[in-house]
């Protein structure tokens, strides 16, 4: 147990310093390692395996909704980036510029894609000619670069991995439906697979993606009460199509501009998982994305038959879950701490006494519950327990969000909450940008979204007292 | 049939202009589309689906041999690239340089990775401390950039997709074994799944990867008699470890430098598949990587029950292969040509007469053989036929390679072959760089490899007449 204590002591506690706790977990669970380029990280095998699981599930969901994967180049010529005015204004300040190929200066600078709308538009112009060519429902899994000043692993890095969906449609209605469809896919993914409740809504004009007519978002609440934008889906109208001169001949034999969307989720989701479910013992992983779902730890491993039994159970379970047996010569206590740190959902302990009784002990990572399970029932019990861990994590996160969601009807109340109570603040809003700016300035909060599920909290805007148009979620955000 | 003719006429024939045939196939089969950045292409859904199949199979083979996926940053600081002398000399002339982040000039230039040895080395130095940390068996799926002067889709592009394996070991022997192990994985993949025979061997010193002690290669022969290097595996010794100061404490409690390897395959493989199996009707895809393995074409689709039957068969087969039914209103002739162009291995035709007889017609893409199959036997016949297509493709390629592999024992003979007979040339070599340079200059050929399977063709070097050390494969290469 000495080893266990040592290990646990190495992490800063959440209450002491949440930011340091986060960094400790990210490093000690071996998710990432820093590099000599600020804001660019190595995603280590354990971190990357989480991403592979995320990719695998999301990719199936995209394909089930009719999308195809493609791959665009990573470079965007400056003139191409410049074609859509709002878009270039939003991104130009934070792109990395390639100016030389080998020893030769390039005729035109190329930026490393911060996002790929302009590349998709150039491609659409080449391949979309008739309404028969529509819709195109594309996605790509790539990395993008945004030259951020302050960086944090997964949450804000200069290079990050993501998927970007890009679609183009005959009508505005179809494109709008697609935008909402993919937001719903994102929300379902977060809630079902990451066990992370999200608020679905639309961003205010101020918070929109550069070039979008509407940006939809899912917002999650982290352990420390800060909000995390976890996925966005954008409706572009025909603005990009006009800027890039994309035309198709319609059913009426006339030329029309098509309508576009884009939507993205990133490795930021790994940060969201850490800060939603983690605790002072380290990572807590939702089973659907855990690289190892069950870790088998032999107890009194030197006793006859224990290692063999551990290996036998591993083989037995390998068809129904991602399972490993740690048969190394480290102490059981060290192993307990190690796999708690790594957030493995279930620990299966098997020792001589258990073998005698034809049972094992299973310990849930989410609530540390100890369960004795007959070895004959293992194959039905494990999937049930993995599901129970997912439900336990989801419900705990949902309860915490309920406890940390506050309502304000006037400025004094709002400022008091913003100063003293971390979490979401729900308040009415008149719809004016000025009030949004004022709340940011005076209370240090930003609008997260206008949630789809509206409530009438008051008649007037929390800020200016004019008639209210919407209920908004506000918060401090990552 | 007018449509079919039209379609076929659109492709240049192989004999007329092989390079143009290649470009036609790549475009008409909708594998890629050009962009405004020279040498950077859009990989379209059909092309990307081939790559996804390649990735899926290779990734399983890597994991089965104990490798884990990671992800390194895309940027390498200039000082890091400079650390290993041979390596930087090899790559610096062809890297893309990032000099600005937003509007600010960077303190140090960053290159976009042309390959990631230096990044892995920096990481190893951080995470490898003891022999207990070894080996590390890593792989990553990313894109890399090399600023080539002349570019061709898949074969030589400025950005390309690949996997790069990087491993680090306690002993030289282990690292050497790994190098050969992965070369064998590559060869197995090419022969079994791409139906493409390869020659395994080691590169001469002149053709080694920058920084490697040994570079192993698999070389394939294309339809036009040119060689294509299809995968390479490098043994680095402890050269990189010394340059990057990577040290581990050994079993003897002393500090040692570990030994490294790297190995890579790229989207070039798609070019190899096109040029190995393609014909004047377009692409011919090996079943293992074909996005659609069976295309169902309804005949006399307006007749009652035909479309329903086509859909019924599609559903029946969807569990055992990648199958689609084209129930569009295009003519059957157009569909025949279209899916021949796209290289779909098997075409299944079903019409009213077939339905009456409870049968269908299957046409193999590789040899156009027509087979009548009872609908009751379809589920056993289809996998057999897919296997037969793979074998047919492999054997045809093997025969062609045999026909196009020549032996030369003196310079006159060698020059005559090089001038008049496209293909591999086998010849003895003394081991001197001078003879290699001379053959390049005088016969326009380069050494492909010293094959593992040696034969004694003559006692003396084909070039200088000194005693021969090895039999070499020579050729003109992509």
Domain boundaries along the sequence of chain A: 18-277, 294-387, 405-475
List, in order, residues 6 or more apart from A203 with CB less than 8 Å away.
A209, A214, A215, A216, A217, A232, A447, A449, A450
Average pLDDT, chain B: 96
Question: Please, are residues B378 and B315 in contact by the beta-carbon 8 Å criterion?
Answer: no
Cα of A190 to nearest chain B Cα, Å? 23
ipTM of the prediction greater than 0.90, yes or no: yes
Of B36, B52, B80, the CB nearest to A80: B36
Rg, C-alpha atoms of chain B: 25
- Domain A294-387 is classified in which CATH homologous superfamily? Anticodon-binding domain (3.40.50.800)
Record: contact B159-A97, CB cut-off 8 A: no
Residue A34 pairs in a beta bridge with A41
Domain A405-475 part of CATH 3.30.110.30? yes
What is the structure's pLDDT at A414?
A: 97
State how far the alpha carbon of A341 is from the alpha carbons of A274, A281, B217, B329, in Å.
11, 6, 42, 59
Of A35, A51, A74, the CB nearest to B122: A35
| Closest residue by Cα to residue B413 from B361, B357, B457, B455 | B457
Torsion over CA: B467, B470, B474, B478 (sign): negative
| Residue B354 confidence (pLDDT) above 80 | yes
What is the structure's pLDDT at A9?
A: 55
What is the structure's pLDDT at B100?
A: 96
Question: Please, are residues A425 and A401 in contact by the beta-carbon 8 Å criterion?
Answer: no
Pick from A69, A98, A99 the residue to mutate for testing the B interface (most B CBs within 10 Å): A98
Question: Taking residues B232-258, what's their average pLDDT?
Answer: 98
Record: contact A68-B80, CB cut-off 8 A: no
List chain A residues with pLDDT less than 50.
Answer: 1-8
Phi and psi at B288, nearest 5°, equal -60, -30
What is the structure's pLDDT at A3?
A: 42
3-state secondary structure chain A: CHHHHHHHHCCCCCCCCHHHHHHHHHHHCCCEEECCCCCCEEECHHHHHHHHHHHHHHHHHHHHCCCEECECCCEEEHHHHCCCHHHHHHHHHHCEEEEEECCEEEEEEEEECCCCHHHHHHHHHHHCCEHHHCCEEEEEEEEEECCCCCCECCCECCEEEEEEEEEEECCHHHHHHHHHHHHHHHHHHHHHHCCCCCEEEECCHHHCCCCCCEEEEEEEECCCCCEEEEEEEEEEECHHHHHCCCCEECCCCCEECCEEEEEEEECHHHHHHHHHHCECCECCCCHHHCCCCEEEEECCCCCCCHHHHHHHHHHHHCCCCCEEECCCCCCHHHHHHHHHHCCCCEEEEECHHHHHCCEEEEEECCCCCEEEEEHHHHHHHHHHHHHHHHHHHHHHHHHHHHHCEEECCCHHHHHHHHHHCCCEEEEEECCCHHHHHHHHHHHCCEEEEEECCCCCCCCECCCCCCECCEEEEEECEC
Domain B18-277 part of CATH 3.40.1350.10? no
Pick from B97, B133, B150, B154 the residue to mutate for testing the A interface (most A CBs within 10 Å): B97
Residue B377 has what DSSP assignment?
G
Cα of B365 to nearest chain A Cα, Å? 25
Of A35, A49, A94, the CB nearest to B102: A94
Cα of A292 to nearest chain B Cα, Å? 14
Record: contact A94-B72, CB cut-off 8 A: no
Cα of A137 to nearest chain B Cα, Å? 10
Q: How confident is the model at residue B10 (pLDDT cuts 50, 70, 90)?
A: confident
Residue A79: closest CA among chain B residues belongs to which residue? B36
Cα of B21 to nearest chain A Cα, Å? 21
Whole-angstrom distance, CA of residue B223 vs CA of residue B18: 9
Record: contact B112-A112, CB cut-off 8 A: yes
């Amino acid at each position: 147990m000495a080893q266990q204590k040592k290990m646990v002591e190495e992490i800063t506690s959440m209450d002491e310093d949440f930011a340091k706790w986060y960094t400790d977990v990210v490093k000690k669970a071996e998710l990432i390692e820093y590099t000599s380029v600020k804001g660019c990280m190595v995603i280590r095998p354990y971190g990357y395996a989480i991403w592979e699981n995320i990719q695998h599930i999301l990719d199936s969901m995209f394909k089930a909704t009719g999308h195809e994967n493609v791959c665009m180049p990573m470079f965007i010529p400056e003139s191409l980036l410049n074609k859509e005015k709002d878009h270039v204004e939003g991104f130009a300040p934070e792109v990395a510029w390639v100016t030389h190929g080998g020893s030769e200066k390039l005729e035109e600078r190329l930026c490393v894609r911060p996002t790929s709308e302009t590349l998709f538009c150039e491609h659409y112009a080449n391949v979309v000619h008739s309404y028969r060519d529509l819709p195109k429902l594309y996605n790509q899994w790539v990395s993008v670069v945004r030259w951020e000043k302050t960086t944090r692993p997964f949450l804000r890095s200069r290079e990050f991995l993501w998927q970007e969906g890009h679609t183009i449609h005959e009508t505005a209605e179809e494109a709008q439906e697609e935008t909402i469809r993919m937001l719903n896919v994102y929300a379902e993914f977060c809630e079902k697979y990451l066990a992370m409740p999200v608020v679905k809504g639309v961003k205010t004009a101020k918070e929109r993606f550069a070039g979008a007519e509407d940006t939809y978002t899912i917002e999650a609440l982290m352990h420390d009460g800060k909000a995390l934008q976890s996925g966005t889906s954008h409706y572009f109208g025909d603005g990009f199509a006009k800027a890039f001169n994309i035309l198709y001949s319609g059913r009426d034999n006339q030329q029309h501009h098509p309508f576009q969307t884009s939507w993205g989720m990133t490795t930021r989701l790994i940060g969201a998982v850490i800060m939603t479910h983690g605790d002072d013992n380290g990572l807590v992983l939702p089973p659907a994305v855990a690289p190892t779902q069950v870790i088998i730890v032999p107890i009194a491993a030197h006793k006859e038959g224990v290692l063999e039994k551990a290996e036998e159970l591993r083989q037995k379970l390998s068809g129904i879950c991602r399972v490993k047996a740690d048969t190394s010569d480290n102490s059981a206590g060290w192993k307990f701490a190690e796999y708690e740190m790594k957030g493995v959902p279930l620990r299966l302990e098997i020792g001589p006494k258990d073998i005698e009784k034809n049972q094992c002990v299973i310990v849930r990572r989410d609530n540390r519950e100890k369960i004795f399970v007959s070895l004959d029932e293992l194959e039905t019990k494990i999937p049930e327990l993995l599901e129970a861990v997912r439900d336990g994590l989801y419900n705990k996160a949902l309860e915490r969000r309920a406890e940390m969601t506050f309502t304000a009807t006037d400025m004094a109340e709002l400022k008091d909450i913003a100063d003293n109570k971390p979490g979401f603040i729900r308040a009415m809003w008149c719809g004016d940008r000025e009030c949004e700016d004022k709340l940011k300035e005076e209370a240090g909060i930003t609008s997260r979204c206008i949630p789809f599920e509206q409530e009438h909290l008051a008649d007037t805007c929390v800020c200016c007292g004019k008639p209210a148009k919407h209920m908004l979620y506000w918060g401090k955000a990552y």
